[in-house]
Amino acid sequence: MTDRKVVVEEEIFDRQEAARYLKLGADKFDKLYRVCADYQGGKTVTYKKSKLLDRYDQVCESPREVSA
């Protein structure tokens, strides 16, 4: 049997798409998820789905201890 490598494409969102995906308003999204931003130079900012979900888990586990 041979080993197989599974390649999964990463979904990438802009700020508005990411906020909609998490069902949050823009202000609340910025407060909680700004740390997930990937700056692509200039004003282009993207958010990877995997980073957003990791941060979501952190926020849900201990909302009082997570700082934005």
pLDDT tens readout for residues 1-59 = 556 665 566 788 999 999 999 999 999 999 999 999 998 887 789 999 989 999 999 98
In a domain, 19, yes or no: yes
In a domain, 6, yes or no: no
Distance of CA 58 to the CA centre of its chain: 12
In a domain, 7, yes or no: no
Residues in the chain: 68
Q: What is the domain range of residue 30?
A: 12-61
Residues 37/41/43/44 CA torsion (nearest 10 deg): -60
pLDDT at 66 over 60: no
Residue 10, pLDDT score: 79
In a domain, 54, yes or no: yes
In a domain, 66, yes or no: no
**Structural domains counted in the chain:** 1
In a domain, 4, yes or no: no
